[in-house]
Structure 1
Amino acid sequence: MAGIAADGPLERLAAQMALADLPLKAFLGEELISSDDDEVSRQIAARHDPAAFAPISSLTVGELREWLLRPETAHDRLEAVTWGLTPEMVAAVSKIMPLQDMIAVSTKRRVVTRFRNTIGLAGRISTRNQRNQPTDDSRGIIASAIDGLLMGSGDAVIGINPATDSTKDYIRIVSLLDESREKLAIPTQTCCLGPVTTAIQAIERGAPVDLVFQSVAGSEKANRGFGVDISLLKEAHEAGRSLNRGMPGSSVMYFETGQGAALSADAHFGVDQQTMETRAYAVAREFDPLLVNTVVGFFGPEYLFNGKQIIRAGIEDHFCGKLLGLPMRVDVCYTNHADADQEDMDTLLTLLCAAGVNFVITVPGAEDIMLNYQSLSHHDAVYCRETLKRLQYEVAEIANPAPTDGVEVR
């Protein structure tokens, strides 16, 4: 759709070879989207740390790939260069890496966050219990949430996509979720995934808001299409933190992204959708989020045509997010008109578990009946824990947070 795809494997290989020879410093000297016209570009430039960049400043994109794959490039080194990397650098290196490379690097980079519990420790996987209800019926929401809880789903968050943007309904939903959490003594956090403008109004009215949610993209124009800019996100972040509902210093933001968001809004400025997706992570990481997820197949086959492309995009997004210091997860999903099926989702889930994904979304029967797309089921999380040995958090670990093995807690 953007008109910039390679015209076959030979042209793609030639582009990869040219990209591999490009010095990383070139990304600092030439912006893909001018800072004069875009606040995301201005933020990327302002937040770049020359000291963090210094250890890799002499490298090309191809040499960065080799550096990332070295055994001695472990978590500490990856964490040290986080703010020296720009989204464009990270997107570039992902384009010359096969899935195995990206998985190998992702599993070395851990990002730990906390609210009421701890998310992102090595060998662990968390889940979002997504209970969307077409009419926001309170009984339907709770019944379905309990269904997920019985399968151990929801330790990352119990999150509801509301059917409307009504502040009244938002307050009813977060109050319902909070009351249920307290009655059942569930050591987790809850979220109504309404826009930040609604969340701010709800907070002002005293609603029990744990996490503030917002979809974001990689350009100012695309974000304005979502009804936000960086200034408004700062206001929402401050409002969420003012409630002090989690552990001291805990993260309160939950961001959602997805390849195709900027392109679908004609807000990509001729830049490929994967680079635009990675630029969205520059917006998200400004606010130390508890959770970030890419809805990898949600935009449909117009953007990711089939299961193979969805799998590739999911691993790319997870890799790029981790390198930029984000607590990444992937909504392993596809739309009904895409050339994909549940076996593709099984494959992507298994690869993500190998890559150290922080959390995944699960819904009853792997089908979201409100948003009308296919995802993972609560049983899939059980598969991760029992077959792949990606464990859930112990209650004792929540009351007495586990050591982070030297990993910085966001």
Structure 2
Amino acid sequence: MPWTTRFTGKSHTFADLRELMAKATPHRSGDVLAGLAAESAEERVAAQAILADLPLAHFLEDLLIPYEEDEVTRLIIDRHDADAFASVSSLSVGEFRDWLLDYETDSAMLAALAPGITPEMAAAVSKLMANQDLILVASKCKVVTKFRNTIGLPGRLSVRLQPNHPTDDLKGIAASMLDGLLFGCGDAVIGINPATDQVSTTTAMLQLMDELISRYEIPTQSCVLAHVTTQLQAIAKGAPVDLVFQSIAGTQAANESFGIDLAMLREAREAALSLKRGTVGDNVMYFETGQGSALSANAHHGIDQQTLEARAYAVAREFKPLLVNTVVGFIGPEYLYDGKQIIRAGLEDHFCGKLLGLPMGCDACYTNHAEADQDDMDNLLTLLGVAGCNYIMGVPGADDIMLGYQSSSFHDAQYLRQALSKKPAPEFERWLETHGINDEHGRLCENPAVLLDAVRNLGLSNA
């Protein structure tokens, strides 16, 4: 159905819900590239005004992608919890924003609501929110997951230790792992992006991490971020797989461009669960997302990139993941042009994911050809910490020399924990203290003996 409104004496018409959502979205280069963005601030505000009056229930009837054409749409509708939705079912999008910001709306209420919110509802309300609104509401959303430790507890901030190497050299990877551990990083996961997607390489990396984790009894989990089919083959060959990883998107066509579908993800989760490697929980999946992925695959159906990103969270939610990570500035300036757009997108993604009940982390990152720098990432990192982000990235020197992008460093994790009085996951915190890496106040200790012992035991004396 079309909507028309007059704003500052000018008439604005939006042909359907897809156009209304796109025009209401804060400005970003990806929507301009797709020809979906509002042509002026005035048109954007007009779209936001109409969106604010739209009933939340409208999104259950007016589907952005037809039910028959898209398995992600079917997942969203089939899994919708009407009982959970009942408490807000009479509200408009604007009223829902007010409800989320209300003093009385607390963590328990938001957790109970999560199964009743669709990605489109979350995306719609985010378009009406200032950055501070996104931060405040997300900070009230608590999502806790477990495998070998407990992630997402109040007052905690975890870190993915990301020891990538451009040639998949095991000694180089091991040196980065040990460096990160001595900075108190790695409680979210020790996760390696392989330069080559081969079963033999994946298995060798998994064995290296398993040896380190087992030898030093580190309460964390490992993951090699190879394609899910490669990981399934590794499992079949007996590799020590903790978490199964996959990049996901918000449309069936975009996921097909990744070489996956929902059935494949279900198979992968069952395979990981069958290994029974978790000690305190069984959240075995790790997903990564990012605004612009569907557009880059020409699989966006005329929908704005932020709404499609929220739809990816419906896919993640289905599989009860330990970790979900929006790699916010990774695809490039074609989709998020500068630091301002990257910061806004990171806060939107974190908010929408948390509102939908997901354990959200964020890779505060940018590519070298974007109009952004490390000051922008410091700002985003700090805002995410205030918003209660479950985990961030720890990359040697904040410069991923394999993937070729800029992220956050081991030292950045120390900064954020100190500035916001955050601690690692409780099991990992105790391990750091036991091994003399942290003192009882969470401060780093000077203890090179731990590093030298690990180097010696892992055969890295020539590294």
Bucket of the pairwise TM-score, normalised by the shorter protein = over 0.9
Deviations 1:297-332 (A, max 9, x none): 001000001000000000000000000000001000
Match of 1:297 in 2: 329
SS of equivalent to 1:81:
helix
Aligned amino acid, residue 133 of structure 2: D
Match of 1:383 in 2: 415
Q: 2-side partners of 1:220 and 1:184: how far apart?
A: 42
Unaligned runs of 5+ in 1: 400-410
Q: 2-side partners of 1:376 and 1:272: how far apart?
A: 28
Post-superposition shift, 1:197? Answer: 0.5
Q: 1-side partners of 2:427 and 2:283: how far apart?
A: 20
Q: Does 1:284 align with 2:333?
A: no
Post-superposition shift, 1:164? Answer: 1.1
Whether the 8 Å contact between 2:321 and 2:359 is mirrored in structure 1 is yes
Identify the match of residue 113 of structure 1 among 130, 145, 148: 145
Q: 2-side partners of 1:256 and 1:325: how far apart?
A: 16
Matches within 5 A, 1:5-20: 5-20=37-52
Whether the 8 Å contact between 2:394 and 2:408 is mirrored in structure 1 is yes
Deviations 1:27-46 (A, max 9, x none): 01110011111000000010
Match of 2:403 in 1: 371
Q: Is the deviation greater in 228-237 or in 385-394?
A: 385-394
Q: 1-side partners of 2:186 and 2:300: how far apart?
A: 34
Identify the match of residue 38 of structure 1 among 64, 70, 76: 70
SS of equivalent to 1:147:
helix
Match of 1:218 in 2: 250
Match of 2:382 in 1: 350
Match of 1:182 in 2: 214
Identify the match of residue 97 of structure 1 among 99, 114, 129: 129
Q: Does 1:272 align with 2:304?
A: yes
Whether the 8 Å contact between 1:160 and 1:193 is mirrored in structure 2 is yes
CA spacing shift, 1:394–1:111, aligned 2, 3 Å: closer
Whether the 8 Å contact between 2:148 and 2:281 is mirrored in structure 1 is no
Whether the 8 Å contact between 1:116 and 1:398 is mirrored in structure 2 is no
Q: Does 1:3 align with 2:3?
A: no
Whether the 8 Å contact between 2:227 and 2:245 is mirrored in structure 1 is yes
Whether the 8 Å contact between 1:128 and 1:154 is mirrored in structure 2 is yes
Task: Compute the TM-score of the two structures, normalised by the length of structure 2.
Answer: 0.85
Match of 2:443 in 1: none
Match of 1:53 in 2: 85
Task: Compute the TM-score of the two structures, normalised by the length of structure 1.
Answer: 0.96
Whether the 8 Å contact between 1:187 and 1:398 is mirrored in structure 2 is no
Deviations 1:188-223 (A, max 9, x none): 111000111011111111110000000000000000
Q: Does 1:148 align with 2:180?
A: yes
Identify the match of residue 86 of structure 1 among 106, 118, 131: 118
Q: 2-side partners of 1:389 and 1:397: how far apart?
A: 14
Aligned amino acid, residue 274 of structure 2: S
Stretches (4+) displaced over 2 A: 393-399
Q: 2-side partners of 1:145 and 1:258: how far apart?
A: 25
Whether the 8 Å contact between 1:102 and 1:316 is mirrored in structure 2 is yes
Post-superposition shift, 1:63? Answer: 0.3
Whether the 8 Å contact between 2:291 and 2:308 is mirrored in structure 1 is yes
SS of equivalent to 2:103:
coil
Aligned amino acid, residue 256 of structure 1: E
SS of equivalent to 1:294:
strand
CA spacing shift, 1:48–1:395, aligned 2, 3 Å: closer
Q: 1-side partners of 2:427 and 2:307: how far apart?
A: 39
Aligned amino acid, residue 99 of structure 1: N
CA spacing shift, 1:217–1:56, aligned 2, 3 Å: same
Post-superposition shift, 1:397? Answer: 6.9
SS of equivalent to 2:161:
strand
Whether the 8 Å contact between 1:118 and 1:398 is mirrored in structure 2 is no
Post-superposition shift, 1:186? Answer: 1.4
Identify the match of residue 159 of structure 1 among 181, 191, 216: 191
SS of equivalent to 1:140:
helix
Q: 1-side partners of 2:178 and 2:386: how far apart?
A: 28
Q: Does 1:231 align with 2:280?
A: no
Q: 1-side partners of 2:80 and 2:234: how far apart?
A: 34
Deviations 1:253-306 (A, max 9, x none): 000000001011010100000000000000001000000000000010000010
Q: Does 1:172 align with 2:230?
A: no
Match of 2:445 in 1: none
Q: 2-side partners of 1:312 and 1:173: how far apart?
A: 35
Whether the 8 Å contact between 2:219 and 2:428 is mirrored in structure 1 is no
Whether the 8 Å contact between 2:423 and 2:429 is mirrored in structure 1 is no
Whether the 8 Å contact between 2:150 and 2:426 is mirrored in structure 1 is no
Unaligned runs of 5+ in 2: 1-32, 432-463
Match of 1:136 in 2: 168
Whether the 8 Å contact between 1:306 and 1:340 is mirrored in structure 2 is yes
Post-superposition shift, 1:65? Answer: 0.1
Deviations 1:60-118 (A, max 9, x none): 00000000001111011111111111000000000000010111100111000011110
Aligned amino acid, residue 323 of structure 1: L
C-alpha RMSD of the superposition: 1.1
Aligned amino acid, residue 185 of structure 1: E
Q: 2-side partners of 1:73 and 1:387: how far apart?
A: 27
SS of equivalent to 1:36:
helix
Count of residues paired in the alignment:
399
